[in-house]
Amino acid sequence: MKSISIFLVFMLTVAYASSQGRCGTIQTEEMTQSFLDNKKHWNQTLAKGSMPNFIPVTFHLVANNDGSSQPTEELALEGLCILNESFELSGSNMFFYVKEFNVINNTAINTNPSGSGFLMRNQTDDASINVFIVDEIASGGLGRILGFYSPNGDYLVMRKDQMTARAYTLEHEIGHFFTLRHTHYGWDGQYYDPSNNGDTIFQTSITITEQGPIGDIVSIELQDGSNCDTAGDLICDTPPDYGFGFSCNCCILPWEVFDRNGDAIEPLMENIMSYSQGCDIQTFSPDQLVAIQASLDANNRDYLRTNVTETQYRPVRGEVALSSPAAGETVEIFDEVTFEWEPVENAEYYIVTIIGSQTFRERTTEPRLTFTELQPNEFFASWSVRAYNVFGGGCNGSMTRNFNTGTSSSAVNELDFVSELNIYPNPITSNSDITVQFTSTQTELAQVKLHTITGALVHSFQVQIQSGENRVLIDESNVTSGILILEIKTKSGSILEKIIVE
Ligand SMILES: [Zn+2]
């Protein structure tokens, strides 16, 4: 029985390890040298105090050659929102904002960014942090690569599915960008394993086999802090980490591990530069933040301090509160449904998502939006709204509500003497005249109006309705594209018809 349970545990461990994610950054000697050079000025960095820094980011939205599989701007903004929250939670005064979105249609970059460095360097912006969002990162070795920083090209690459996963991958790679090492530096690819390493680490050093200068010898950090300046990540407020995060992906170390002095290791599993994703919240340590700030202040990061236009951090907070339609409501008129929500402070725009048999996504700057394309008599599983601005957005989710559409159309005919109304050509285009044809049994003066769905008047003129067949021509110069309402208004009432001008 015992042997079976050991076998099962082994199977589970293998399955877990192979699905574990990791970063693909290779820490160069230059990065370490920058870190050490900057460390000499940590006192100045600290003395300078905490003036806010606004850091521009360019997101490269990478699609395949045919434009398919393109990440949305909102996906980038959601990741940016989480990034800003993580820095805030760490106590940082650095704020990241979108400088630009750049769409790239290139399957090679999208599926094998590690082998596409030349193509990517041609696309980078020289006055912001460059983040390429891709479908896939080809990798070797243990674990899936979720993202990496390229010191050669000075850009970051993120797997698309990591942008919103709250796996802190973007934060982690930004840490590398600003010179930080892994808390488990030296242990990459040979992470602590109780069956190999036992409960006490007697070694004094470890030889790098991955993600650093291969063959370099790194001192193994002690719990008492006596060698923290020269061992591991070279940072003293992050305790020893022998690669525990990759091995357990947990928030509390499941093993008792001792260093060579016999001191029990108390790692910071919630540290962003560790490999654990088991904690709900991951943060940087205070000294890591000083190292990041010192790197930002260094000469080689001059370019990040130019073109900075933001002067105030204006985050978009909280969920968007939905107003109408109410949860479960049946909206009788199906082809003109207006969705409304509470305005969100600092929001620059909103994305409304409606999920039924089809999914609709529309952008608006107003706290309301009218949809005219919904089908009658349909159950919609949800509608939701997220708010965005230049600092990100949408990262705190959204309320969702379901609703149904009824069967009534927004078209109205109050004129019982008018029949056989026909509007053509069909479809209507903005460079063709519109003919409105109908039959009337009486004579009456009418005002013909075109207005937008929100009520703005586009065009208006008077006609005399004749008894018999009528033809009213609207000149193409008066027709704008979009959804318009044609109104024929008389003293006896109105006809309203929705027309779509392509
Ligand atoms: Zn890393």
Contact 26, 37 (CB under 8 A): no
Task: Identify whether 289 is part of a domain.
Answer: no
Task: Identify whether 381 is part of a domain.
Answer: yes
Task: Identify whether 276 is part of a domain.
Answer: no
CATH of the domain at 438: 2.60.40.10
Q: What span, in angstroms and rounded, lies between the C-alpha atoms of 1 and 123?
A: 59
Tell whether the model's pLDDT for residue 14 goes beyond 60. Answer: no
DSSP state for residue 302 in the 8-state scheme: G
41, 173: one domain: yes
Q: What span, in angstroms and rounded, lies between the C-alpha atoms of 484 and 482?
A: 6
352, 475: one domain: no
23, 167: one domain: yes
- Give the distance (Å) from ligand 1 centre to CA of residue 26: 8
- Give the distance (Å) from ligand 1 centre to CA of residue 328: 46
- Give the distance (Å) from ligand 1 centre to CA of residue 269: 14
Sign of CA pseudo-dihedral 161, 164, 168, 170: positive
Mean pLDDT of 339-343: 95
pLDDT value for 308 = 66
- Give the distance (Å) from ligand 1 centre to CA of residue 290: 18
Residue 440's alpha-carbon distances to 354, 418, 465, 492, 496, in angstroms, are 41, 4, 7, 13, 16
- Give the distance (Å) from ligand 1 centre to CA of residue 243: 12
Lowest mean pLDDT among 127-131, 256-260, 364-368, 410-414: 410-414
- Give the distance (Å) from ligand 1 centre to CA of residue 176: 7
Can you give the residue range of the structural domain that contains 331? 322-408
Is it true that the peptide bond before 240 is cis, omega within 30 degrees of 0? no
476 pLDDT band (50/70/90 cuts)?
confident
- Give the distance (Å) from ligand 1 centre to CA of residue 216: 18
402 sits in which H/E element = strand 400-408
Q: What span, in angstroms and rounded, lies between the C-alpha atoms of 468 and 444?
A: 12
Q: At what angle do helices 169-177 and 73-89 cross, to 10 degrees?
A: 70
Task: Identify whether 266 is part of a domain.
Answer: no
Tell whether the model's pLDDT for residue 427 goes beyond 80. Answer: no
463, 341: one domain: no
Q: Tokens representing 483?
A: 């959804």
Q: What span, in angstroms and rounded, lies between the C-alpha atoms of 213 and 151?
A: 13
Lowest mean pLDDT among 174-188, 432-446, 476-490: 476-490
pLDDT value for 1 = 35
499 pLDDT band (50/70/90 cuts)?
confident
- Give the distance (Å) from ligand 1 centre to CA of residue 173: 6
Mean pLDDT of 389-394: 92
- Give the distance (Å) from ligand 1 centre to CA of residue 239: 17
Of 423 and 150, the structure prediction assigns the larger pLDDT to 150
Tell whether the model's pLDDT for residue 8 goes beyond 50. Answer: no
Whole-number percent of the chain with pLDDT over 70: 94
- Give the distance (Å) from ligand 1 centre to CA of residue 139: 14
- Give the distance (Å) from ligand 1 centre to CA of residue 452: 53
- Give the distance (Å) from ligand 1 centre to CA of residue 137: 14
Q: What span, in angstroms and rounded, lies between the C-alpha atoms of 370 and 72?
A: 22
456, 392: one domain: no
- Give the distance (Å) from ligand 1 centre to CA of residue 469: 76
**pLDDT tens column, 228-241:** 999 999 999 999 99
Q: Which of 452, 468, 469, 451 is nearest to 460 (CA)?
A: 451
Q: What span, in angstroms and rounded, lies between the C-alpha atoms of 137 and 198?
A: 34
pLDDT value for 2 = 38
419, 401: one domain: no
Residues around ion ligand 1, judged by CB within 5 A, are 23, 25
400, 436: one domain: no
- Give the distance (Å) from ligand 1 centre to CA of residue 266: 21
pLDDT value for 128 = 95
Residue 121 makes CB contacts below 8 A (sequence gap 6+) with: 153, 155
Mean pLDDT of 217-221: 95
- Give the distance (Å) from ligand 1 centre to CA of residue 390: 26
- Give the distance (Å) from ligand 1 centre to CA of residue 169: 8
431, 353: one domain: no
- Give the distance (Å) from ligand 1 centre to CA of residue 147: 8
**pLDDT tens column, 98-127:** 999 999 999 999 999 999 999 999 999 999
Task: Identify whether 95 is part of a domain.
Answer: yes
pLDDT value for 306 = 65
Domain C-terminal end among 161, 177, 193: 177
351, 465: one domain: no
- Give the distance (Å) from ligand 1 centre to CA of residue 25: 5
Task: Identify whether 417 is part of a domain.
Answer: yes
As for how many domains the chain has, the answer is 3
206 pLDDT band (50/70/90 cuts)?
very high
Task: Identify whether 190 is part of a domain.
Answer: no
**pLDDT tens column, 261-275:** 999 999 999 999 998
- Give the distance (Å) from ligand 1 centre to CA of residue 271: 12
34, 165: one domain: yes
Lowest mean pLDDT among 49-53, 288-292, 335-339, 369-373: 49-53
**pLDDT tens column, 72-84:** 999 999 999 999 9
- Give the distance (Å) from ligand 1 centre to CA of residue 183: 9
- Give the distance (Å) from ligand 1 centre to CA of residue 45: 24
**pLDDT tens column, 165-192:** 888 999 999 999 999 999 999 999 999 9
- Give the distance (Å) from ligand 1 centre to CA of residue 187: 12
- Give the distance (Å) from ligand 1 centre to CA of residue 122: 24
492, 385: one domain: no
249 pLDDT band (50/70/90 cuts)?
confident
Tell whether the model's pLDDT for residue 449 goes beyond 70. Answer: yes
Residue in the block written with tokens 């067949």: 469
- Give the distance (Å) from ligand 1 centre to CA of residue 104: 25
397, 495: one domain: no
Q: Which of 471, 470, 466, 461 is nearest to 444 (CA)?
A: 466
Domain C-terminal end among 371, 388, 408: 408
CATH of the domain at 52: 3.40.390.10
Domain C-terminal end among 131, 157, 177: 177
pLDDT value for 495 = 87
Q: What span, in angstroms and rounded, lies between the C-alpha atoms of 213 and 208?
A: 7
Write out the DSSP string of 343-357. --TT--EEEEEEESS
- Give the distance (Å) from ligand 1 centre to CA of residue 180: 9
Tell whether the model's pLDDT for residue 451 goes beyond 90. Answer: no
Pairing of strands 468-474, 434-440: antiparallel
Task: Identify whether 257 is part of a domain.
Answer: no
pLDDT value for 9 = 40
pLDDT value for 477 = 86
- Give the distance (Å) from ligand 1 centre to CA of residue 90: 18
pLDDT value for 454 = 67
- Give the distance (Å) from ligand 1 centre to CA of residue 249: 15
16 sits in which H/E element = helix 2-19
pLDDT value for 166 = 85
- Give the distance (Å) from ligand 1 centre to CA of residue 170: 10
- Give the distance (Å) from ligand 1 centre to CA of residue 88: 21
- Give the distance (Å) from ligand 1 centre to CA of residue 245: 12
pLDDT value for 75 = 95
Mean pLDDT of 264-288: 92
Please count the CA atoms within 13 angstroms of the CA of 463 that sit on its side-chain side: 16
